């Protein structure tokens, strides 16, 4: 099984368990390191993430992964908050962070540009609208977003 397929299978397995705890699975990263693997699980909630949340998710995820035996080698599990520059993956993420500054990289250029930083003005099921400097606005469909994350405001 390819690493991407394994990552998708792990996500499908652990997401309902994490949601049952009232916590959101933001992302996972699975990397091979020699004969071992590193599984990073990023979680969040409306009220933020505590060390207790990370410990609880770690116990639950470890239990289900041990029972299902999806990862074919020994692995190290890390559970943490996504940080201040949290990635935005799903339309619900964009809706939740409407009004925040975000950074978006697109697969295809929009007006000769593939990198945008702006205030998230609108988020629908199919696209986002960013307010850019100099009163410009850009409409970006989800299918061309390569990556998006919150922009840390200082």
Quick check: is 85 in a domain?
Answer: no
Total domain count, the chain: 2
Q: How much is the pLDDT for 33?
A: 83
Q: 11 with 53, same domain? A: yes
Q: Which long-range contacts (CB under 8 A, 24 or more apart) does 14-22 make?
A: 14/41, 14/60, 14/61, 14/64, 14/65, 17/60, 17/61, 17/64, 18/43, 18/57, 18/60, 18/61, 21/53, 21/56, 21/57, 21/60
State pTM to two decimals.
Answer: 0.82
Q: 73 with 96, same domain? A: no
Q: 69 with 14, same domain? A: yes
84-121: pLDDT as tens digits: 999 999 999 999 999 999 999 999 999 999 999 999 99
Q: 43 with 66, same domain? A: yes
34-76: pLDDT as tens digits: 889 999 999 999 888 999 999 999 999 999 999 999 898 899 9
CATH number, domain at 76? 3.30.300.70
Domain that holds residue 15: 3-80
CATH number, domain at 143? 2.30.30.180
128-149: pLDDT as tens digits: 999 999 999 999 999 999 999 9
């Amino acid at each position: 099984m390819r690493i991407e397929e394994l990552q998708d299978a792990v996500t499908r397995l652990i997401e309902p368990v994490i949601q049952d705890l009232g916590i959101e699975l933001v992302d996972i990263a699975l990397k091979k390191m020699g004969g071992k693997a590193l599984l990073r699980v990023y979680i969040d909630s409306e009220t933020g993430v505590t060390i207790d949340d990370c410990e609880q998710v770690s116990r639950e995820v470890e239990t289900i992964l041990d029972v299902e035996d999806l990862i074919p080698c020994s692995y190290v599990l890390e559970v943490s908050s996504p940080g201040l520059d949290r990635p935005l993956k799903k339309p619900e993420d964009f809706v939740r962070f409407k009004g925040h500054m975000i950074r978006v990289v697109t697969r295809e250029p929009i007006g000769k540009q593939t990198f945008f930083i702006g205030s998230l003005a609108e988020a629908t099921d199919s696209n986002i609208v960013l307010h850019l400097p100099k009163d410009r606005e850009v409409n970006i469909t989800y299918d061309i977003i390569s990556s998006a994350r919150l922009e840390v405001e200082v």
